[in-house]
A and B are shown apart, each in its own frame.
Chain A
Amino acid sequence: MLETAPPHAKEHQTDRFHGGLIGRQPTPPQDVSRLKKSKRDQGFHPGWLVAPATTWLIVFLVVPLIGIVVFSFWTPKSGGMTPDFSVANYVNFFAQEGFLDTDHRNFLKPSIFVTTLWTTFRFTFTVMIICLIIGYPIAYFLAMQVKNFKWQLALFLLAMVPFWTSYLIRAVAWLPMLGRRGLFNKMLQSLGIIDKPSSFFLYSEFGYTMALTQLYVVLCIGPIFFSLAKIDKAIIEAAKDMGATNFQVFREIILPLSLPGVAIGMIFLFVMLMGEFATAVVVYGGKTSTTGTVILNYYAIANYPFSAVNAIMLMLAMMIGVVFILRIVDIRKEL
């Protein structure tokens, strides 16, 4: 600590380079221990290290999100909005005309925006479950069955490659598979399962769900793989030595220990899928809308406050979902 160093040490420090004339002199060893800074002062100051990134995040992440909240209370006018406080946007989100009128046919019927959010959630939930069912065995295989580290890494990277390629292009790639003259129809026809081309695949719930699964499944494999790979193999050996069956080992050891990874993967999928909008347009032909497409449509017709309300409802739904997942699995121990 510099403060407690005796005067001669300070003197020495100020004249360490002799005005740069004689060159650098080696510091006598007995002084080094005194000059040595405390652990706290080592390294660069955190304030300088985090300042640029923090500023960036505030400008491009925090302020825009606060902006959405603020704008959702503004009043739309043609071609823009005015800063007049109003909750009409929220009312419009939930209620349609005749919502409280007992004689009206729309009495207590949820508005189209609520149903859209519900549809978005339904697809998200379905795809999450399918991804978990498909992805977990893959992660299990890679982490538990492949013993050779090089093979493990190679097979894992192979499965993760789509993560680094354009997701839009992967969505486009589904088009030749699903259409009336697409590969699926061709295959089913040649197998004799169907005799006429079916329009069951493209622009249908089935095709949409399958495309979403293929696009997003890699996102949950990563976290599950990492939590499985962390499991100490000695525990499994011990359980087996005490006569546990494979299924018991899985149920009592592997599954509970992999739950944090499952939770992280599910949160990841949930958040991404709720905000999904491009695949709905490409593979579902815009036949249904997700809340994401609603937001963009209202932005396009310059009703910014209403777009913001939809965005906030989406955010709320996501927060509820994430908190719900965290209630089931405590991932804090993992971080």
Chain B
Amino acid sequence: MARWTRRRAQALAVKTGFSFYYIVFIIFIFGPMIAMFVLSFQGRRGGSSFPMRGFSFYWWERLLQPSTIGDLQGALGRSLILALVVMAITALFATMLAMAFRRKFWGSNILFYTVMLGLMVPGVLLSLGLATLMRQLGIPPAWWSSGLGVHVVWTLPFGFLVMMAVFNRFDSRLEEAARDMGASEWTVFREVTLPLILPGIVAAGLFGFTLSYDEFARTTLLSGEFNTLPLDINAQMTQRVRPTLFALGTASTIFSLCLIGLFVVVYTILYRRSR
């Protein structure tokens, strides 16, 4: 009996130790972001590091004014449009691919590895390859053409893996039942398959949106004359670092977090409904 309690005490100690370590880890991961958040309220005369000299919304206001360097509002708009389009294409392609992969077909292995290659190739290589190619062909790069192209290459593997996982757990008998009752392929998809995989499609879309919205490396050489938001942030960083940059970073992070929250809510609702 004594041994049993000692074991339990030991297990509790281990768990407490791990919990403590987890908290330290979370502080390590979020600490810099929180410091950035606090510094964005730096007083008007304060600099880009501690201590705080007063508290003000000065740098946040600067964010809303037309900026001297770069075109922040325009970049934000372009990034949002791009992210929405990438989200739609990722969700669509990922679903189609995963549906095709439910069966073996000719070249399925090669295709699988090609999709995964998009995840594995560093952004700078893809950027270089496509930018050089387009230069040689005389096509000017633009965020809505070449930028969109490489963004989907980057987001598709994530969406694809999500949809593969969804179809792995999918009960095909439901579809067969519908077919047996004479439903056409489109009807089966619309009435049976789609409602069941909708939460997965939302998750794939989340990857598409957020990864595209934050994408930097692949867009570096491919956005053409107009910047996306991360490129604009990068351009600002090469100037003197001011708390405006921190305000921008905070705003962007909060936006990302709201977005994740929204997706989680939508996902939960759809998931409950599909049960």
Contact = CB atoms under 8 A, between A and B. Distances in A.
Interface of A: 26-27, 32, 36-37, 40, 42-44, 46-47, 49-50, 52-54, 56-57, 59-65, 67-68, 71, 80-81, 134, 137-138, 140-142, 145, 155, 157-159, 161-162, 164-170, 172-177, 179, 181-183, 186, 214, 217-218, 246, 267, 271-272, 274-278, 281-282, 292, 295-296, 299, 304, 307-308, 311, 314-315, 318, 322
Helix, strand, loop or mixed for chain B's interface? helix
20 contacts: A32-B182, A42-B179, A43-B175, A44-B100, A46-B105, A60-B130, A60-B150, A61-B118, A80-B135, A137-B18, A137-B21, A169-B253, A181-B49, A214-B32, A275-B124, A275-B125, A292-B124, A304-B135, A307-B128, A318-B122
Contacts of A42: 175-176, 179
Interface of B: 14-15, 18-19, 21-22, 25-26, 28-33, 35-36, 39, 47-50, 93, 96-97, 99-100, 102-103, 105, 108, 111, 114-115, 117-118, 120-126, 128-133, 135-136, 146, 149-150, 152-153, 156, 175-176, 179-180, 182, 185, 189, 206, 210-211, 213-214, 216-217, 220-221, 230, 233-234, 237, 241, 245-246, 248-249, 252-253, 256-257, 259-260, 264
B121 A61 contact: yes
Contacts of A172: 36, 233, 237, 241, 245-246, 249
B133 A63 contact: yes
Contacts of A246: 14
Nearest to A177: B32
A75 B110 CA distance: 33
Contact of A299 (B14, B100, B131, B214): B131
Given A49-B96, A164-B210, A170-B32, A43 B103 contact: yes
A267 B122 CA distance: 12
A27 to B, nearest CB: 6
A243 to B, nearest CB: 12
Contact of A165 (B47, B136, B214): B214
A61 B214 contact: no
A52 B152 CA distance: 12
Contacts of A32: 180, 182
Contacts of A292: 122, 124, 217
B232 to A, nearest CB: 10
Given A166-B256, A292-B122, A56 B93 contact: yes
B242 to A, nearest CB: 11
Contacts of B115: 53, 57
A322 B189 CA distance: 39
A160 B152 CA distance: 22
A164 B125 contact: no
B36 A296 contact: no
A155 B22 contact: yes
Contacts of A304: 132, 135
A282 to B, nearest CB: 6
A165 B179 contact: no
A138 B21 contact: yes
A67 B100 contact: no
Contact of B256 (A62, A165, A214): A165
A167 B217 CA distance: 10
Shortest beta-carbon contacts, A-B, top 8: A275-B122, A64-B129, A60-B149, A49-B100, A173-B32, A46-B100, A169-B249, A173-B36
Nearest to B179: A42
Contacts of B22: 138, 141-142, 155, 159
